[in-house]
Amino acid sequence: MLETFRSFFDPPITADPEQSTAKLAWVVRLRWVAIAAQVLTIAPALEFQVLEPSMLPLFAAVVATLAALNTGTWIGLRRGTRGSPGHLMIQLGADILGLSALLILTGGAWNPMVPILLVHSVLGALLLEGRLGLTFFGLLLASLVIIQFNSHIPPALAGALVPANILFPAQIVVVLVFWILTAWLSSTLDQLKVWFAEAQERKTRIDRLRAVGALAAGLSHEFATPLNTAQLRLARVARAHKLEADPDLLTAIEELDRCGDILRHMAGSQLQPDRLSLEVVDLEPLVRQVSESIAGVHEDATIRVLGDGRGVKRVLIPPVAFSQALINLVDNSIESGGRESEVEIVVQRNGSRVELRVQDRGSGWPEVVRRHLGEPFVTTKQEGVGLGLYYVHSLAEAIGAELTLDDRDFGGAVAKISIPIVPSTSSSETPKSATIPAPDWRPKDGRLHDV
């Protein structure tokens, strides 16, 4: 029973993008409470001469009108009518007009129940946005003016009136303060809901990817032993029967080697934050070192590192794992543009983050790759596995960075990693200029990492 009563006043938080229908249903519930309270106050108001008997028919007519409006709205909602911001504006406007009429009949601005208008100030700021919210606030101020100058003063309030030049400005200020505070609170809550929904979606996606990664790691482990056995047996058969030059046997051995490469990729693509050795390093020297290592392998390609000249860029990353991710992106650019392609690696500061961009003049990112960014086994290459870009994305998630894929102006692709800058704790502190061993990043058959 208590839970049912509490749910009657639950605020309108639903999956409806505009929430207008839920808000309208909430207004209907609150109005029934208000109508019941108005009916219950009739007898005390007559007893204490706040409501004169001659005004009772008008008072009852206003309450009956509000009840009829609420009944019609309730029936519409039961029949599936969807609410809109305009409907909310009409409903709240009717409440303001009805309450103003009741106050005019019972003392106007001097009625002790005038603070009820503050409730409508809160409701307007909470439920209406933009121009509708400002229009409603203007209607609320107009109602205060009307009840100030067109009120019937009952005997119970006569002789104890606060001067209008004091009362009216005070009421305006109070309503304005309530409106501003509620509008700010409502906006903050909306932003928090959006942030929470995005965080929940991000968490769900990461959990799904971790499950896929765990499955991939398990498959890699289970297949490793029989694969090694098959490779050893084939090699033994080739030696025993002198078939080392047999083309079918060579093809079988090459495919088994490829399977081994795929399993190593699957095992190496699983990144967890608690398994990364994080260091504060200056990003640009690390990028230059890795690019020199890549250039030594791809001698026909042109790889340029461009900095912004804005000093040290301190980031908290695992140097070896990050180098592997950078190699994956550069390999992809070279494969897209050809062996003699030009690849630019841009390192620049952007506010409180460092942006690393790997850009080329190749064919650009396939739509399926961009749409499924961060999911394993997504590739458009005939011989691809779809783990290279997954590795980069997993690393970015693990270190709090962000990976985005864009098309480059006038053709080509851009992969951007945005990494938070580590603030310096003292003027004398300098980050490490990481020197790392060249990672074992090339497959045994000489093919590039696929992304």
Q: Are residues 7 and 148 in the same domain?
A: yes
Q: How many domains does the chain have?
A: 2
Q: Model pTM?
A: 0.45
Q: Has residue 266 been placed in a domain? A: no
> Measured in whole angstroms, how far is the alpha carbon of residue 131 from the centre of its chain?
26
Q: Has residue 56 been placed in a domain? A: yes
Q: Are residues 406 and 279 in the same domain?
A: yes
Among residues 161, 190, 225, the one where a domain terminates is 161
Neighbours of 262 (CB within 10 A): 16
- Tell me how far apart the 2 most distant CA atoms of the chain are, in Å: 121
Q: Has residue 85 been placed in a domain? A: yes
pLDDT computed for residue 234 by the predictor: 82
CA distance 333 to 278: 27
Among residues 117, 146, 161, the one where a domain terminates is 161
Beta strands in 192-298 (DSSP E): 279-282
CATH code where residue 362 lies: 3.30.565.10
- Write b or e for each residue in 13-39: b if 16 or more Cβ atoms lie within 10 A of its Cβ, otherwise e: eeeeeebbbbbbbbbbebbbebbeebe
> Measured in whole angstroms, how far is the alpha carbon of residue 205 from the centre of its chain?
13
CA distance 153 to 108: 7
- What single DSSP character describes residue 17? S
Among residues 161, 188, 223, the one where a domain terminates is 161
Task: Per residue of the chain (451 residues), give pLDDT as tens.
Answer: 555 555 544 444 433 445 788 888 888 888 898 899 889 988 888 888 888 888 899 999 999 999 999 999 999 888 888 888 888 889 888 988 888 888 888 887 777 777 777 777 777 877 787 788 888 888 888 888 888 777 778 777 776 666 666 666 767 777 777 777 777 777 777 777 877 877 777 676 566 656 655 666 666 666 777 877 887 888 888 888 877 788 888 888 887 777 776 666 555 555 554 445 778 899 999 999 988 888 888 888 888 999 888 888 899 888 888 888 898 898 888 887 777 788 999 999 988 899 999 998 888 888 888 887 877 667 766 666 667 788 888 888 878 889 999 988 888 899 999 999 887 754 445 555 554 444 444 433 433 334 4
The SS3 call for residue 357 is strand
Indicate the pairing of strand 353-359 with strand 314-317.
Answer: unpaired
Q: Has residue 192 been placed in a domain? A: no
Q: Are residues 293 and 414 in the same domain?
A: yes
Range of the domain at 105: 2-161
Q: Are residues 294 and 157 in the same domain?
A: no
Q: Has residue 74 been placed in a domain? A: yes
CA distance 333 to 210: 27
pLDDT tens digits, 181-237: 777 777 777 777 877 877 777 676 566 656 655 666 666 666 777 877 887 888 888
Q: Has residue 297 been placed in a domain? A: yes
- What single DSSP character describes residue 135? H
Q: Has residue 59 been placed in a domain? A: yes
Q: Has residue 430 been placed in a domain? A: no
pLDDT tens digits, 387-399: 778 888 888 887 8
CA distance 25 to 74: 8
- What single DSSP character describes residue 90? H
278 phi/psi in degrees, rounded to 5: -90, 140
Q: Which of 265, 266, 211, 261 is nearest to 231 (CA)?
A: 261
